Structure 1
Amino acid sequence: MVTKDRKRKTLAVLAGGLVLGVGVAVTLAAWNDSEFATGTFTAGSFNLQGSTAGDVSANYSDHNVDTGGTAATLAFTLPTGVVGNMAPGDAVYAGFWVRLAPGTTTGASLSAAGTTTGAAATTNSGNLSYQVYQLAPGATCNAASATGTPVATGATMDAQTGVTAMTLTQGADAATAGTAVQLCFKVTAGTALKQGVATTTTWKFTATSTS
Structure 2
Amino acid sequence: MKKSAMTLSAVLLLAAAACNSRTESTTSLDNQTPVTAGITAVTTDNKGSAMTDNASVRQQLQVDASGGKVVVNLKVENGTASPVFVPKAVFVDDEIFRREFEVTNKATGAEVDYIGPMVKRGPFTRDDFVAVPPGQSLANSIDITRSYDFKPGTTYELKYAGAYLGDVAQLDVTSPVAVAPVTFTFNKP
Q: Under a length normalisation based on structure 1, what TM-score does the superposition of the two structures give?
A: 0.37
Q: Which has the higher strand share?
A: 2
